[in-house]
Amino acid sequence: MSTDIDKFVVPWVRAAAPYSDRHMEFAWSHPEVLRMMSNENPIPPSPAVLEAIQQAAQLGNLYPDSGPALRQRLGEMAGFGKENVILGNGSTDIIDIIITTFAAPGDEVLIPVPTFSMYEARAKIRGAVPVFVPLRPDFSWDVDAILAAITPKTKLLFLCSPNNPTGIQIPLDDLKRILSAGIPTVVDEAYYELENEPRTLAYLIREYPNLIISRTFSKAYGLAGLRVGYAIADAKVVDYMMRVRIPWNVSLLALAAAQAALDDEASFLEKRRTIIEGRQYLCDEINKIPGLRAFPSEGNFVLIDASSLGKTSEQIRDELIERKVFIRPMSPHHMGQGFVRVTVGTPEQNEFFLQVLRAYVEEVRKGK
Ligand SMILES: Cc1ncc(COP(=O)(O)O)c(C=O)c1O
């Protein structure tokens, strides 16, 4: 018997473009290509973290809890309690939990773009309608346009600070104006620990209970493969999100790794220093290459305007892959052709990337 399975699938899932994992599959199957495409931390977990994972693995026959000890600790670090923190399987899980909590099919989710693509992707999968508000040409947030885009159907608003891929923080006054509209508003602080002077916005939750802070262990702490993210929010918001969360969404190994990563401050500081120095170096060196422009960043990535090369972003990616470096094209993410993003690596990796980039740009120019 044959069934037309398509007609049984919910319409918004049928309509959604599959999130392409091809870049990740490609990277894993080509270990000879330097992975500078997904804002991973180039430094592997420390011995203390590995030891904690191994210990936890011995209890792998048991289900985890919701991580009350880790939640308590993360809450205290931000000046809050356990009831203000919820853990996720990476912060992408947190983003999905937030969307499921607030946006029903047909509801609108406001997203200033360009930004992290997952807000749009997960909103669509839940049947919500992403409404895009372009950043200004200097990448600042157009607060008037954001406020003007709010309708009775707007249930959620995503801000990312520092923003991926533009690398800049939202000014406090802009954020307060947006929060005053009363819409549940996420500030994704995935890169906050890497800011030159880390400035969390979590304290604003007391004044604006509609503010939800999202964080992750994937970036500064370098645990992307372990999958731990969290939100800090008003206790009532966390209570609702807890209803949506799948129990046991963070594994025992991930919980242990996150605790150990917090304990291991020396490793954390080394990672932070490597990234902060690396991004400055990359930015300075890229700006010396004629025709390229790199933007200052407070994340572990640098945005590059290479439009003067006359290539599409995808061409630049493919031609650099041939030269053994994998970076990310930004044109599929609400940016112009020729914009690409590179993740900060170790000093050796940054040097290799720069050598490749310099030679590539020279070749393109000669070929013109
Ligand atoms: C802004 C932002 N938020 C969240 C994430 C996803 O992080 P996680 O690994 O915690 O799901 C990323 C990853 O690149 C990101 O850039």
Compute the distance between CA of residue 11 and CA of residue 129 in angstroms, rounded to an integer. Answer: 13
Q: Report helix, strand or coil for 356.
A: helix
What is the rounded CA–CA span in Å between residue 276 and residue 302? 11
H/E element, 260: helix 252-263
Atom of ligand 1 nearest to the CA of 163: 1
**37, 96, 161, 164: which to mutate for ligand 1, most atoms within 8 A of CB?**
164
Confidence at residue 18, expressed as pLDDT on a 0 to 100 scale = 73
365 alpha carbon – ligand 1 mean position (Å): 35
Mean pLDDT by 10 residues, the chain (368 residues): 87 83 86 95 98 98 96 97 98 98 98 97 96 97 98 98 97 98 98 95 97 98 98 98 97 98 98 98 98 98 97 96 96 94 98 98 90
Please report the pLDDT score of residue 3 as a whole number: 81
CATH code: domain 5-43+266-367 is 3.90.1150.10
- The pLDDT, as a whole number, for residue 368 is 66
Kind and range of the H or E run holding 28? helix 22-29
Tokens standing for residue 323 = 């030269």
Can you tell me the distance from the alpha carbon of 55 to that of 124, in angstroms, rounded to the nearest whole number?
A: 39
Give the per-residue pLDDT at 361: 97
- The protein residue with its alpha carbon nearest to ligand 1, atom 2, reads 190
Query: What residues does each domain of the chain span?
Result: 5-43+266-367, 47-263
Q: Do domains 5-43+266-367 and 47-263 have the same CATH topology?
A: no
pLDDT of residue 17: 79
Whole-number pLDDT of residue 24? 87
| Contacts (Cβ under 8 Å, ≥6 apart) of 87 | 66, 67, 70, 71, 228, 229, 230, 249, 250, 255
Q: Ligand 1 center to residue 190 CA distance, Å?
A: 6
Q: Which CATH class is domain 47-263?
A: alpha beta
Distance CA 265, CA 271 (A): 10
